[in-house]
Amino acid sequence: MHSIRQAFVHRLSAASPSDVSALTEVVNQGLIQADAIVAILGKTEGNGCVNDFTRGLATLALKAAVSGLSGLSLEQVSTRVAFVMSGGTEGGLSPHWLVFEVREIAESLALKNMPATRSEAPPALAIGVAMTAEFKPEEIGRSAQIMATADAVRKAMLEAGITDPKDVHYVQVKCPLLTRQRIESAQARGETLVTQDTYLSMGFSRGASALGVALALGEIKPDQVSDASVCIDSSLYSGRASTSSGIELMQNQIMVLGNSAAWQGDLQIAHAVMSDALDVDAVSDALASLGLQPGRDLRDRERNTICAVLAKAEAAKCGLIRGRRHTMLDDSDIHSSRHARALVGGVLAGVFGETQLFVSGGAEHQGPDGGGPIAVIARF
């Protein structure tokens, strides 16, 4: 008897960066199989910039919890599960965990839960995970990171059973950044770095990672990218990448989300590209693919239909939003990435009536200047 895979997504509240009580409770209730968890995306309440240690704290706490709940060792958990923490809950954004499970379900059981005619079953949410090797500091933000990321995306698609890149709707990448120590260690070996500014290194790492996704999905061609493209040529971008940099790792972790007829379940994912931070019309397009539309119903009756909203935010480098000046790039008290998350978080919270939104900052090569991809996972 064959088995078929089904993806589950659970959105859980976090009372602090180390709060695993909701996860523990849901596992204890039998709603999550701890050993089926493949990824946890977390929105934590740090500044989302260089010295945001809430991401590391959350990763530490979640790893320990998954280990304790699943019986797997910490090493096994680190190998099997991607922990992708994105700091920054500016405006009204609410700290939460998105727990992704992949269960193998015996086909006879699976059929029971499906429409009578198997062939009529719509494609369902499919997940694939992969990692690159660890990067050297001098590889971050350069071609080496682009190419390794593209390879890992292809590997994750293969694992997800997705062959057509257009069935991929979201690629989450967690990537490293440069710290003083990493910069010095590379310089001690005589290497140059893409930047010596730790904050700027986050952007280069996100940018190179996004270009890797774009390459793997055929959004750009190999001969279009080089070291010189990263964070320079903003015409090159992926409409489905979401990359997030953190101090706690040195390799890229990739999670591909798409729809596949080879998977079962009642979840689907759709995406659109916001052309600027206010592009509610793009959100409407993504919702339309899922049979939903913005308005009072979505905010009220259908609110729980939405399992996850994943979006990127960044300050438009042109300094304008629809012709009006913004002040994000001239503010030396609050980083522009924090302003941008607050803005996009507000725009989306108005649409969804919900603040547990995975809005992450730094959208280099992820959508056009000032805009970015948005993906929605909903129950049908």
Which residues ranging from 121 to 140 are in contact with a second copy (CB under 8 A)? none
DSSP 316-332: -TTSEETTEE--GGG-S
Calculate the alpha carbon distances from 79 to 94, 213, 256 in Å.
28, 22, 17
Question: Are the beta carbons of 96 and 85 closer than 8 angstroms?
Answer: no
Residue 373 near a second copy by CB under 8 A: no
Q: Which stretch binds a second copy (CB under 8 A): 97-105, 110-118, 250-258, 348-356?
A: 348-356
| List of residues 6+ apart from 15 with CB closer than 8 A | 21, 95
How are strands ordered across the β-sheet holding 251-260? 124-134, 251-260, 168-175, 241-245
Q: Does 20 bind a second copy (CB under 8 A)?
A: no
Q: Is residue 301 involved in binding a second copy (CB under 8 A)? A: no
From the list 238, 244, 260, 337, the catalytic residue is: 244
Residue number with CB closer to a second copy (165 or 294): 294
119: left (phi over 0), alpha (psi -120 to 50) or beta: alpha
277 is a site residue for a second copy (CB under 8 A): yes
CA angle 326, 328, 330 (to 5 degrees): 100
For residues 240 and 339, which CB has a smaller minimum distance to a second copy in the complex?
Answer: 339
Select 163 or 304, whichever has its Cβ closest to a second copy. Answer: 304
Alpha helices in the chain (DSSP H): 21-28, 54-70, 74-80, 107-112, 143-160, 180-188, 198-216, 280-289, 296-299, 336-352
> Is 185 marked within a binding site?
no
Q: If binding is defined by CB under 8 A, does position 46 make contact with a second copy?
A: yes
Q: Which pairing describes strands 96-106 and 124-134: parallel, antiparallel, or unpaired?
A: unpaired
**From 65-73, 77-85, 114-122, 344-352, span contacting a second copy (CB under 8 A):** 344-352
**Cβ of residue 52: shortest distance to a second copy, in angstroms?**
7
Between residue 68 and residue 87, which ones bind a second copy under the rule CB under 8 A?
A: none
Q: How far is the CB of 85 from a second copy (least distance, A)?
A: 12
> Is 314 labelled a binding residue?
yes
**Residue among 43, 63, 155, 174 flagged as catalytic:** 174
Verify binding: residue 192, a second copy, rule CB under 8 A: no
Is residue 244 among the annotated active site residues?
yes
Q: Does 95 bind a second copy (CB under 8 A)?
A: yes
The two tokens of residue 179 are: 């710290």
Give the three-class secondary structure for 39. Answer: strand
Which residues face 172 on adjacent strands?
A: 242, 255
Out of 206, 312, 326, 365, the residue judged to bind a second copy by CB under 8 A = 326
β-strand partners of 168 = 258
Site for a second copy in 207-266 (CB under 8 A): 247
Residues in binding site: 55, 86-87, 206, 244-245, 314, 341, 360-361, 363, 366-368, 371
- Active-site residues, by number, are 174, 244
Residues in binding site for Mg(2+): 314, 363, 366-368, 371
Residues in binding site for substrate: 55, 86-87, 206, 244-245, 341, 360-361
